Structure 1
Amino acid sequence: MPSISKKGTKMPESPIRKLVPYAEKAKKEGVEVIHLNIGQPDIKTPQIALDAVKNNTLSVLEYSNSEGSEAYRKKLASYYAKHDIHVTAQDILVTTGGSEALSFALGSIADSNDEIIIPEPFYANYNGFATAMGINVIPVVSRIDDNFALPPIEEFEKLVTPRTKGILICNPGNPTGYLYTREEIEKLSAIAKKHDIFLISDEVYREFTYDGKKHFSILQQPGMEEHGVVVDSVSKRYSMCGARIGCLVSKNKELLKTALKFAQARLSPPTYAQIASEAALETPQSYFEDVKKEYVSRRNLLIAELEKIEGIKIGYPQGAFYCIAELPISNSDHFAQWLLEEFRVDGETVMVAPAAGFYASKGLGKNQIRIAYVLEKDSLKRAVHILKEALKIYKDQ
């Protein structure tokens, strides 16, 4: 039998998607599964984006440029200017989702066995992209007891080696909802410049910050022209996950020139999706204000309901729409599967994301889950009730 690559064997399963077969089986049995496992908002996509595709007059669905439509990139630059991020269309490379932007960034800065430092827990696919490219993830642990705040800078300094090519953060954070302060961005930027490495910031949740807090981009930090790289996407901002349009933003010309070679190899980002994404940039600010109010309301309800469960510990989200909860169990993978296979309340169960897959350090996160509060409040309340009842009878593994 032909052998599978070592790289493929090492490729981690998605903690978010690996339980899908169990969920599908439960649904076929008539069980209603409440999905807390995936960041698919139920917020409506702006009508202006949908109409742009519906009403377009294309007669040939052509390739776009490998770097993306110039018209879209110019409008993106105007969007960033409104957020005090001053870039040009030439500083932007349109990608097939934020995932491809991240892949291009890693491929452009690091070779096999090079290292990327990432505060953990982190978006699980960071592990996947690094594995695919033979890059070693070097984790810096942030802890739920500190609400996942940036670890002391000394912890980063200890980990920098000649093979370190960059630091990668998600701001606001997936899976924690943590929002980096301006001072933390300044400290990380200082490390990047001191050691002449890149600072990559995944900023796809930029709009979703709460309690009066403001997002501060690494590209707002002075002196980061050569070291700063932003990964972005329309997926969460406009509830357009299926569009698969993102971008890579940097003033480092050599990095963008390199990333463009990766982009040329995949030809071009999807044309219809760029049309929708360009139109979405006309979405009024009131849309985001309404969405933020809804997410704050959902977050507050979720936290209040979770706090009623004995023995639980919760990270308090300041942005995005995720929460890490530490449960009084030892194996959240088993618990999550058990929920789907065996546990029901009035014909319903809940699907969560086991959190171990959001860590690189072995053994961490095994008693934690990630909850995405992207559902309306009644569903969230029912889901937490199911979790509470499940924990009463679950036999720990």
Structure 2
Amino acid sequence: MRTLSHRLQQLPISSIRKLIPLSDAAKKNGVKIYHLNMGQPDVKTPQVMIDALQKWNKNPIAYAPSGGTADYLQALETYYHDLGFLFVNTKNILGTIAGSEGINMAMFAVCDPGDEILVFEPFYSSYKTSAQMWGINLVPIETSIETGFHFPSQEKIETLITPKTKAILYSNPCNPTGTVYTKEEVQLLIDIVKKHNLFLLSDEVYREYTFVDRPHISILKYMQEIPQQAVLIDSLSKRYNLCGARLGNLVTLNTSIFSGALKFAMSRLSGGIVDQYIGAQLVHVPKSYTQDMQKEYQSRRDIMFEGLSKIPGVVVTKPEGAFYIMAELPIDDAETFSIWLLEKFRDNNETVMLAPGYGFYDDPEKGKTQVRIAYVLEEKYLRRSVEILEIALQKYNN
């Protein structure tokens, strides 16, 4: 029998989802699990979007245009105009099947196999999977918990640039660290890509969720300055709690990137037409929806950060946005500990599920004692989760 491809065998398993079979088995035995492993918000989707889904009656359910339906693209144009970016229009917005496909499209458009993309580490785990699918080498730019995972100096970044470097990729606010980059940091990236003629890929799916007294600095602020180099990757998943609808988009003024990404989109025919019909309702969602969520996540952030900070041996830095926190735990191996939590540990028949940190690093050893925690549960459940984690750590280390 022929063997499977080497690239398939080398493809990393998501540390966010890898342990789900263990959690499913525990649930079958009646165990209550507090899921801190996945960024699946518990906040309700806007009712106007649910109403649109319930009213859908077109039969048959047809293909959508490969680049997105007119209504969906127009709604996205309106959204960006409301942010103040009036140059964005439907001709430079491409609908994608969530932000994940946008990442794939952007990488595929700017890199050949063997090319390199610089990425700030720790990084969203799917970046590594996407890069390996296309034969691209991710080159990590190390950041540290001691500095809140902010960017290192320009000199340190530039030492990693080689003739094979094609782009810099970053998420802002950052998944998994919650870091919100300053205007000076984003300007630093602009200066570097201009100096070295690189592409700049900005993943901004958590744009609305910042907890600092300074504005979020979008790549859109600089897109007209570097029109041939900038690509925005965006998504409705977390903004409107539409994770299951798989709605995203790219924005770029580079017509070659746009047309190439459209060819990619044509190869998978279309995104979901029902999904895009729902997404187009974003123009009817009041601004108070995301404003209220921002306040809710900030409150949850405070609970999680303060709770973790009080646990002996746990090291954390206060997240500035998104809804994640990276925590250094007083253990030898975070995956072993996470498995133990699901298979062996119970407190009043309850436990927590974590995302082992190794999946957010190029070198798994760097994240071996870290976990990513998503504070996407109600406040009372977050408090209980912290309590369980503290009890578990005491028992595990004794």
TM-score by length of 1: 0.98
Contact 2:304–2:375 (Cα < 8 Å) also in 1: yes
Equivalent in the alignment of 1:18: 18
Contact 2:171–2:203 (Cα < 8 Å) also in 1: yes
The count of aligned residue pairs is 396
Equivalent in the alignment of 1:91: 92
Q: Give the distance between the partners of 2:280 and 2:317, measured in 1 at CA.
A: 35
Residue 367 of structure 1 is aligned with which of 366, 369, 376?
Answer: 369
Equivalent in the alignment of 2:382: 380
Q: Percent identity?
A: 45
Structure 1: gaps of 5 or more residues: none
Q: Which is further off, 218-227 or 97-106? A: 218-227
Q: How does 1:1-397 map to 2 (within 5 A)?
A: 1-85=1-85, 86-221=87-222, 222-395=224-397
Q: Deviations over 1:112-135 (max 9, x none)?
A: 110000000000000000011110
Paired AA for residue 53 in structure 1 = L
Q: Give the distance between the partners of 2:76 and 2:226, measured in 1 at CA.
A: 20
Cα deviation for residue 161 of structure 1 reads: 1.0
Q: Deviations over 1:237-263 (max 9, x none)?
A: 001000001001101111001111100
Q: Which is further off, 273-282 or 36-45? A: 273-282
Cα deviation for residue 213 of structure 1 reads: 2.9
Q: Helix, strand or coil for the counterpart of 1:263?
A: helix
Q: Helix, strand or coil for the counterpart of 2:91?
A: helix
Q: Give the distance between the partners of 2:364 and 2:155, measured in 1 at CA.
A: 22
Q: Which is further off, 121-130 or 47-56? A: 47-56
Q: Give the distance between the partners of 2:284 and 2:111, measured in 1 at CA.
A: 36
Cα deviation for residue 9 of structure 1 reads: 1.1
Q: Which is further off, 35-44 or 74-83? A: 74-83
Cα deviation for residue 395 of structure 1 reads: 4.1
Moved over 4 A (4+): none
Paired AA for residue 204 in structure 2 = E
Contact 1:332–1:355 (Cα < 8 Å) also in 2: yes
Q: Deviations over 1:294-351 (max 9, x none)?
A: 1111111111111110011102111100000111112101000000000000000000
Q: Helix, strand or coil for the counterpart of 2:381?
A: helix
Q: Give the distance between the partners of 2:44 and 2:355, measured in 1 at CA.
A: 24
Paired AA for residue 134 in structure 2 = M
TM-score by length of 2: 0.98
Cα deviation for residue 362 of structure 1 reads: 4.2
Contact 1:84–1:220 (Cα < 8 Å) also in 2: no
Cα deviation for residue 75 of structure 1 reads: 2.0
**RMSD in angstroms over aligned alpha carbons?**
1.1
Q: Give the distance between the partners of 1:58 and 1:45, measured in 2 at CA.
A: 22
Contact 1:233–1:245 (Cα < 8 Å) also in 2: yes
Contact 1:219–1:225 (Cα < 8 Å) also in 2: no
Q: Give the distance between the partners of 1:160 and 1:36, measured in 2 at CA.
A: 36
Q: Give the distance between the partners of 1:213 and 1:373, measured in 2 at CA.
A: 22
Q: Which is further off, 151-160 or 334-343? A: 151-160
Q: Give the distance between the partners of 2:282 and 2:376, measured in 1 at CA.
A: 20
